Structure 1
């Protein structure tokens, strides 16, 4: 039987898989994620906006998290505050990210599929995100999705580019 990927809005049952994939892709583990959200923060985000997952055999192999500005103010994520100091976005814009795809599923278009699902669920709204300026694969992937650089900022001795769509 061929493994198939399912892209959908995350449910409570996907929470542990999101947390594990996020943990596996922290900088301390050789990954490129710039922050780590705890279980309560992700649950709050799930109540706020659609969180998108890519599943293979009911296992989370990718996620795309989003947060409204209102919910962000409750979460206290300093790097996102720095992003918004650099670029405020529109009144109803939201935070796109983090996005993560498991190592063995990269290069198969999952980021684009999750983004397409997000746009389907949140049409006509501006999304704002940041990417480490030295993360070439992520920069290329997001440009390919039609996002464009609007600003940049520094945080914890690293440079980040701000993108919007």
Structure 2
């Protein structure tokens, strides 16, 4: 049985990091990247502690094991992970629905991951639905970037309701900027 909740302990954060390491693009084959998707950014425990002190991420547990997570990164939390700064700077240049992005109330999906053994069981939808329950009273939408080569992630986000609002290239990759509107 799966249960969606927010991060509640350092043990949860350590399990997120373990799950993250198993899915970082530098540690998996090209075939797995193409078929299953991948993670680009690597976090550490102090970063996660900072982020979760501001706004806890959503996790799915089976018994005591974290089997999926969707990381919450608020604008206040952007200093916790300096490698995300180019993304936030790019967002400062964007408009959405006729207004500058920063005129809206939003936060960033910092990363989403489902354990290999628990994929294709609806957990991405479960993660995002719990994000909506917890955070929609305070925010208009979630925004994130997805590598244009991460087909599985892009399809999962579209299924949930995200739409592409911008595509660009930086020193790391080509990115789709996607938004899930809650209004």
TM-score, normalising length: structure 2: 0.81
Unaligned runs of 5+ residues in structure 2 are: 95-99
Matched pairs, number: 162
Contact 1:86 1:153 in 2 (8 A): no
Please give the secondary structure, in 2, of the residue aligned with 1:100. Answer: strand
Residue 123 of structure 1 corresponds to which residue in structure 2? 136
The answer (yes or no) to whether the contact 2:71–2:109 under 8 Å persists in 1 is yes
1:7: which partner in 2? 4
Distance 2:93 2:25 in 1: 23
Match of 1:110 in 2: 123
Cα distance in 1 between the residues matched to 2:120 and 2:86: 27
Structure 2 vs 1, CA of residues 83 and 129 (structure 1 numbering), >3 Å: closer, same or farther? farther
For 1:61 and 1:156, how far apart are their aligned partners in 2?
Answer: 31
**Which residue of structure 1 lines up, in the alignment, with residue 39 of structure 2?**
33
The offset of 1:24, in angstroms, is 1.0
Give the TM-score of the pair, scaled to structure 1. Answer: 0.89
Partners of 2:154 and 2:17 lie apart in 1 by: 24
Does residue 80 of the first structure (1) align with residue 87 of the second (2)?
A: yes
Confirm or deny that 1:19 pairs with 2:17.
yes
Aligned to 1:98: 111
Instruction: Measure, in 1, the Cα distance between the counterparts of 2:124 and 2:170.
Output: 25
For the pair 1:154 / 2:173, whether they are aligned, the reply is: no
User: 1:79 Cα shift?
Assistant: 4.7
Task: Find the partner of 1:89 among 101, 104, 123.
Answer: 101
8 Å Cα contact 2:4-2:127 kept in structure 1? yes
Q: Which runs of 5+ in 1 are unaligned?
A: none
RMSD of aligned residue pairs (Cα, Å): 1.8
